[in-house]
Structure 1
Amino acid sequence: MIRRINLAGNPNLGVSLAATDKVALVPPNLGEKMVQVVEECLQVPIIKTPISGSSLAGALAVGNSRGFLVSKYAFDTEMDKIRECGLEVERIPDRLTAVGNIILANDHGAMVNPLLSDEAVEVVSRTLDVDVVRGSIANFKITGSVAVATNKGVLVHPSATPEELEFMEKTMKVPADVGTVNQGTRLVGAGTVANSQGVLVGEKTTGPEMARIEESLGFLEGLL
């Protein structure tokens, strides 16, 4: 399922929301009608919580079915809310606090900003229980902003090279392809929230963009 929504007029859904195949993190002030839309599309329980006191959970947290990584400034109470769902939660120790922007992950692998420390890479690997590689996409180190990954596929910045797509497929162990969102926005990770059950994109996303997103993230397999 793919749905077009904006959050208070903002199409950058991937900055505010974080989703895995187990749960979705949403801002605590998100209205119940919108919470229901997110829940129905992604088909997972919703956790209403700030991260580091901020409503930008998508920028400050990233995870997979095993757990979440959060900014080093995340509060214990915020982490406890996630742990209550049976998930691991750890802080990334580095000065790079926007972990949702610098880490791309699914249940099979993770690609992280090349500047992430060895200690941080170990935290990612241990918490998510995946192999971790450092890498960049289309000369961007913000791997979580320029791509969105699920357990069925990866949608990537349109300037990614064939070699980068191949490397990503080996890392994430799913097919990868390029696309845009919100009428040509290339930071697809910032503009998209997805898991294996559904995809949320901004309201300006065009029909052709939606078709490409669905194909890249594996939602058209049954129709081919």
Structure 2
Amino acid sequence: MRLSRYGGNPNIGVYAVANESLSFVAANASSEFFKDVEEALGVTVIPAIVSGSYVIGSLVAMNSNGAVVTGLAEESELKTFSSRIPCMRLDDPANAAGNNILVNDRGAIVNPEFSDSTVKAIEDFLGVPCVKSTVAGCTTVGSACRATAKGCVCHPDATDEEVAVIEDVLKVEVRKTTVNHGSRAVGAGILSNSKGALVGDTTTPIELGRIEDGLALF
């Protein structure tokens, strides 16, 4: 586990997305940030832009089977992803895929405002069961949590019922925490896979302990 920041911003999960082998990172990130991602997660790092923006983690959700990318992405931008991994457009009003989908290689929790057809398309494409739910009453489940094949950390105000849904669908244990000295946007402050995690550099030692435990990084 390593601490980092993107351009002075500790919300590093907003600017990159990762699975077990790849990470797409904001193309304007520093060489130090690229190195942090590569070494902390043990992945190949690819610079990317989506919809003319660098908020890759907010606009893309990914597991080992594919990447779901905002429907606002340009064709040229999609080629960066499709050359490395299967990808699909999320053509839904809530099209910021990373903010609205919490996924690992066993399941996905998605924004309850998604249409049933959108949920089915995501389910078929990512090859995992998808269930609508909130986290701490929030529909942006991807920004509230971070999940891997080994564990999940989530918004500290998530209800017992919401935690139970995550554990049942993603087949991992959930640990509640904050990140970056009290931020409840847990997914925004962490980039992780089963091999490691990159965490915003304002995260406290107590928070780091909870994150390490929740993601089973020991």
Tell me the TM-score range normalised by the shorter chain: over 0.9
Asked if the contact 2:7/2:30 (under 8 Å) is kept, the reply is: no
1:153 corresponds to: 151
State the one-letter code of the partner of 2:58: A
1:82 corresponds to: 81
Quote how far apart the aligned CAs of 1:33 are. Answer: 2.5
Asked if the contact 1:151/1:196 (under 8 Å) is kept, the reply is: yes
CA distance in 1, matches of 2:94, 2:160: 28
C-alpha RMSD of matched pairs (Å): 1.0
Deviation digits for residues 145-176 of structure 1, max 9, x if unmatched? 11111010010100112222121100101111
2:199 corresponds to: 201
1:92 aligns with 2:93: no
Asked if the contact 1:181/1:202 (under 8 Å) is kept, the reply is: yes
Q: How is 1:1-224 mapped onto 2 (pairs within 5 angstroms)?
A: 2-85=1-84, 87-220=85-218
Deviation digits for residues 91-118 of structure 1, max 9, x if unmatched? 0111112111111000000000000012
State the one-letter code of the partner of 2:177: G
CA distance in 2, matches of 1:73, 1:166: 33
Q: Please, which runs of 5 or more residues in structure 2 have no aligned partner?
A: none
TM-score (norm 2): 0.97
CA distance in 2, matches of 1:70, 1:98: 8
What SS does the corresponding residue of 1:133 show, helix, strand or coil? strand
Q: How many residues align?
A: 218
CA distance in 2, matches of 1:198, 1:169: 20
CA distance in 2, matches of 1:13, 1:127: 26
CA distance in 1, matches of 2:31, 2:13: 19
CA distance in 1, matches of 2:174, 2:205: 20
Quote how far apart the aligned CAs of 1:215 are. Answer: 0.3
What SS does the corresponding residue of 2:143 show, helix, strand or coil? coil
CA distance in 2, matches of 1:31, 1:164: 37
Asked if the contact 1:90/1:123 (under 8 Å) is kept, the reply is: no
CA distance in 1, matches of 2:139, 2:124: 22
Indicate the larger mover: 210-219 or 21-30.
21-30
Quote how far apart the aligned CAs of 1:29 are. Answer: 1.2
State the one-letter code of the partner of 2:68: L
CA distance in 1, matches of 2:32, 2:183: 26
What SS does the corresponding residue of 1:145 show, helix, strand or coil? helix
CA distance in 1, matches of 2:119, 2:161: 23
Indicate the larger mover: 76-85 or 89-98.
76-85
CA distance in 2, matches of 1:57, 1:145: 12
Indicate the larger mover: 155-164 or 145-154.
155-164
What SS does the corresponding residue of 2:58 show, helix, strand or coil? helix
CA distance in 1, matches of 2:80, 2:185: 29
CA distance in 2, matches of 1:53, 1:126: 28
TM-score (norm 1): 0.94
Quote how far apart the aligned CAs of 1:203 are. Answer: 1.0
